[in-house]
Chains A and B, each alone.
Chain A
Amino acid sequence: MAEDLVLDTAIRDWVLIPLSVVMVLIGVLRYFVSKLMRSDQTPDVKIVKEGQLIIRARNLRAAANFIPAKSFRARKNYYSNEENGLLHVPKGQAQNPQAQMFSDPNMAMDMMKKNLSMIIPQTLTFAWVNFFFSGFVAAKIPFPLTQRFRGMLQNGIDLSTVDVSYVSSRSWYFLNLFGLRGLFSLILGEENATDDTQRMMQMSGFGFDPTKSLGAEKDNLDIVQHDWALPKFEQRAEAVLKKLVS
């Protein structure tokens, strides 16, 4: 590169390091705040019941080959028989999940809390970075990029002659935002790593329709090919024992 920029060490001491440290600390703070705000709502009995039922059916499906055909048939009948099987949901009883969500204010409240604990710190840090550090060239990434990335990496600097690999402080903030996720999962445990993405997923599936999953589980159970594994185990045991003896 012909025109190497010389960056002042003061930028490192007063922009780059503080910004990164603050991002880490805010992540930690957010984790603990959201932990504090988490309310233990007592779940609805019906929903818990259905959840447990699905788990039981799933266990049966996973362990189908370890029980005799007759036992399997009996259990399958118990779950998915058309008249009073546990997984069989009568038509018209399906509750509208949307309506259910609105009828339970606690649920909406919880959702909002989670949302807020995510959005508020981000907005605040972004405003902070914007206010104090706008227009700095804060860092230089050690690999070349094409012009396409200029908007992404030099957010806040309107110079077209600066090499693209120089990063503005605002973009450094974004880089931190994404890159620190891994670090958080190490220092705060798995729970936090799943925070953003997983929680978003959970949220969208919040008023998830239990009847639908019951139906799906029923279909899954219906197509299980039963193949009792135990007869083969005798041969296997024989082989193992033979190996031991010889």
Chain B
Amino acid sequence: MDKNKSSDALDEIPTFNVDNIQNNTRIINYSRTFMSIIGGVIAGILGVNGLTGIVFYFLVMAITTAGLAAKTEFSVHSYFDSWNRIVFDGILGGLMSFVLFWTFAYDMVHIF
């Protein structure tokens, strides 16, 4: 999944491969989108509503972050330029998808 960038966390000179970084960022976005859709469906089926749903979304995103960090074997700096990437990238982008699939599944199961 992830490609290593040729860098050492200890190194003070930033040496990284732009293509690989872009690839990794794209993978983050994919994972986030995927997780937000799946999370939305799960939230809808469970019948979560109100603020709990938003909390659920951030929980899912936190799980994604943990998963990505685990995928990099917790040496985030050899794959990304900073922790912020893995923690914050693409969180708001998935929100719309989450709301849509949440509503969809919730309506399917609970409203009708």
Write the residues of chain A forming the contact surface with B, with a CB cutoff of 8 angstroms. 7-9, 11-12, 16, 20, 62, 65, 139-144, 167, 175-176, 178-183, 185-186, 190, 229, 232, 236
Contact = CB atoms under 8 A, between A and B. Distances in A.
B67 interface: no
Interface string B99-112: 11111101110111
B58 interface: no
Interface in B44-92: 44, 47-51, 53-54
A180 B107 CA distance: 17
28 contacts: A7-B111, A9-B112, A12-B108, A16-B107, A139-B103, A139-B107, A140-B107, A140-B111, A141-B103, A141-B106, A142-B44, A142-B49, A142-B102, A167-B103, A175-B99, A175-B100, A178-B100, A179-B100, A179-B101, A180-B100, A181-B96, A182-B93, A182-B94, A182-B96, A183-B97, A185-B29, A186-B33, A229-B13
Contacts of A8: 112
B50 A183 contact: no
Most A Cβ at <10 Å: residue of B93, B97, B99, B102: B97
Contacts, number: 79
Given A185-B30, A186-B33, A179 B97 contact: yes
Given A141-B99, A143-B49, A232-B13, A12 B37 contact: no
Contacts of B101: 179
A34 B51 CA distance: 40
A186 B30 contact: yes
Given A12-B112, A167-B103, A182-B36, A62 B18 contact: yes
